């Protein structure tokens, strides 16, 4: 029962055709439909639902909403009751409020980020099918990402005023949506401030993450690749397409994933992320990183923090 996995990310982009070229040529996604409002819907080759990314024309970049898929339609009713009992207002959107999707529960996290939960989305199958499939398709361009893996949200954190949206979001996700805490960063006197968390509902180290910053926003959406060699190939694809890179290929201490960060044409940060890291299970002890080791936690190879990595986001 409840949330199974990430469903889609709705990104605001300032040039829809430039954004479409990026997600198709660099990441290897495929356009599956457009609607009358000008939104473009895309999927990765190893996804079976009709879309995992929505590009929405806008005069600014950022996240419109983030959606997660629940197991049963009835879960929406029980989760609505839990969210409202927690003190957060909800709205149940009717079937078809988004194309190819059933009724949807809409609400805002304590940080203000819009979340949507749904149970049904039209399935179109993976690019290799489900009957005697090949391990990969032959005609996927660019990095050939498998699926939308996770999202990291920036949340207001101000120890001087006592505002900590990271801790508030984390508590909400655990108490209302049954997410589990995989890793956390603790800072301040006596490591008493929860400054970042990585949370899961599936079996990967994070289906969502929250990191403290000066304002709420989107840090990145991440796409899954098989291994380190694929991350290096992804970097080559970006160089070939003159994509603005943020962080060259490296490894995280947190989640153990290998990674590269880069930007779409509107400035939304993307990540290609490889490796399971570890099997996330509800009874796995929480991994804690302290402020003095945060450099190794984020960039394990260099052990050095990059200030722009946590201050530049949409």
Residues classed as catalytic: 150, 206, 220, 252, 261, 271
Among 44, 37, 38, 35, which Cα is nearest to 9's? 44
C-alpha 151/C-alpha 139 separation (Å) is 27
* Alpha-helix runs per DSSP H in 213-259: 228-240
C-alpha angle 150/100/13, rounded to 5°?
50
DSSP 166: H
The three-class DSSP label of residue 50 is: coil
Neighbours of 123 (CB within 10 A): 11
Token pair recorded at residue 72 = 């049963």
Q: What is the dihedral of CA 72, 225, 64, 174, to 10 degrees?
A: 50
């Amino acid at each position: 029962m409840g949330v199974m996995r990430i469903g889609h990310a709705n990104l605001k982009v300032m040039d829809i055709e430039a954004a479409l070229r990026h997600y198709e040529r660099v990441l290897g996604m495929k356009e599956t439909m457009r609607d009358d409002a000008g939104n473009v819907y895309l999927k990765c080759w190893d996804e079976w639902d009709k879309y995992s990314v929505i590009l929405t024309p806008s005069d600014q970049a950022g996240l419109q909403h983030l959606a997660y898929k629940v197991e049963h339609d009835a879960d929406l009713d029980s989760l609505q009751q839990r969210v409202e009992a927690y003190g957060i207002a909800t709205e149940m959107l009717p079937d078809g409020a988004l194309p190819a999707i059933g009724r949807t529960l809409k609400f805002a996290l304590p940080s203000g980020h819009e979340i949507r939960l749904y149970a049904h989305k039209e399935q179109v199958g993976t690019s290799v099918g489900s009957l005697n499939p090949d391990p990969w398709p032959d005609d996927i361009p660019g990095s050939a990402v498998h699926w939308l893996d996770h999202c990291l949200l920036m949340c207001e954190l101000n120890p001087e005023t006592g505002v900590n949206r990271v801790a508030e979001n984390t508590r909400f996700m655990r108490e209302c949506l049954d997410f589990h805490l995989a890793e956390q960063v603790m800072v301040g006197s006596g490591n008493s401030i929860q400054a970042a968390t990585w949370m899961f509902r599936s079996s990967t180290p994070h289906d969502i993450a929250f990191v403290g910053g000066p304002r709420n926003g989107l840090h990145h959406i991440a796409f899954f690749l098989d291994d380190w060699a694929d991350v290096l190939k992804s970097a080559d694809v970006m160089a070939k397409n003159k994509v603005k890179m943020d962080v060259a290929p490296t490894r995280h201490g947190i989640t153990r994933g290998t990674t590269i960060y880069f930007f779409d044409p509107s400035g939304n940060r993307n990540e290609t992320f490889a490796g399971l890291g570890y099997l996330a299970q509800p009874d796995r002890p929480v991994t804690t990183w302290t402020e003095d080791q945060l450099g190794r936690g984020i960039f394990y190879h260099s052990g050095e923090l990059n200030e722009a990595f946590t201050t530049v986001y949409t």
